[in-house]
Amino acid sequence: NMKRIHELPIYIVPDCNIHFLEMMQVAKENGTTLPPAALFTIRYHSFYALHNSGAYMYLLNDEDKESLKWLRIFNKYDLYSKSKVRIDVEKVKPYYLSLIDKYFPSKLRW
């Protein structure tokens, strides 16, 4: 369901969720101390055409290309992992809460 526009190799994907872009904006607007590569990962981790197929590489600057390396590492461990090991949420919760405390203010503006 992609539609080609003009003669550029850029496509519009209808009904595309923008929640990852919104998550990145919330992080930035709340003064997160996440590094740029982490924000790039939040924004683009579901953009498989970029990080799996290499599409749109001509649109990336040097910083984006460096961030893409981190995104590819992250992608190995995201929620869609094929691991059969069930995570004990209560056991790992303190670790993830400490990361939230480290990189975000105690109260977020939505």
Q: What is the dihedral of CA 32, 38, 42, 48, to 10 degrees?
A: 170
6 marked as part of a ligand binding site: no
Q: Tell me the helix, strand and coil percentages in the chain, rounded to 5.
A: 50, 5, 45
- Rounded-to-integer distance, Cα 61 and Cα 20, Å: 20
Please name the residue that has the structure tokens 């939505």. Answer: 110
78 marked as part of a ligand binding site: yes
Yes or no: say if 72 and 51 are a contact pair by the CB < 8 Å rule.
yes
AA identity, residue 74: F
Yes or no: say if 50 and 26 are a contact pair by the CB < 8 Å rule.
no
Q: Residue ranges for the binding site?
A: 45, 78
Q: Residue ranges for the binding site for Fe cation?
A: 45, 78
